[in-house]
Chain A
Amino acid sequence: DIQLTQSPSFLSASVGDRVTITCRASQDISHYLAWYQQKPGRAPKLLIYSASTLQSGVPSRFSGSGSGTAFILTIGALQPEDFATYYCQHLDSYPYTFGQGTKLEIK
């Protein structure tokens, strides 16, 4: 099975900061990666798919990059509503595992 490792697991930042979250795959998954945002008590929300395609309705301050085994989620100019937990998920082969999550907190 393909393992995904996110870093960091916890991130403290301020409104207006630019942050990056990394997701590394245990083997080449091409561009088959998605990013989700989850707020407490809520279902996850799709942000990015195919590594770099922004889901409809998601603000343009979110962007994704990478291919193969290394991927990055970038949030430019953090807004108060962006403080949440972020997960990557690969879609290369079953099982479609998730990363362990990155909790983004307000500094």
Chain B
Amino acid sequence: EVQLVESGGGLVQPGGSLRLSCAASGFIVSSNYMSWVRQAPGKGLEWVSVIYSGGSTYYADFVKGRFTISRDNSKDTLYLQMNSLRAEDTAVYYCARGKTGDQLEYWGQGTLVTVSS
């Protein structure tokens, strides 16, 4: 059974850093398209970043240069390193696995990041 479990969220001050983790089971992370999507409280979904099986990465403009997506193949874990955090980064962050056409088939339960002083 495919499962995704995010962790690492919490309260951080503006300008601070946080690393989110997404532990996968039931499949091999490095063989799949993996993505991060976020949702600010009461708002819609925002695509954040993706890493392909070959290692290519892409980012939304609003996180480019501040966030880094990566994976640990030995642990089947996806990461999102978030630096220079801003109040507007406050959101629930979901990791998700894509199908062959990049649509997001499996999702984790999400982890809440709150950026506030």
Interfacial residues, chain A to chain B (CB-CB below 8 A): 1, 32, 34, 36, 38, 43-46, 49-50, 55, 87, 89, 91, 94-101
Contacts and interface: CB of A to CB of B under 8 A. Distances in A.
A36 to B, nearest CB: 8
A101 B45 contact: yes
Contacts, number: 57
A96 B108 contact: no
Interface residues on B, range: 20 to 34
In terms of DSSP, what is the predominant structure of the interface of chain B?
strand
Most buried by B among A32, A38, A96, A98: A96
Given A34-B103, A44-B107, A55-B105, A96 B47 contact: yes
A95 B49 CA distance: 8
Contact of A94 (B58, B94, B109): B58
B60 interface: yes
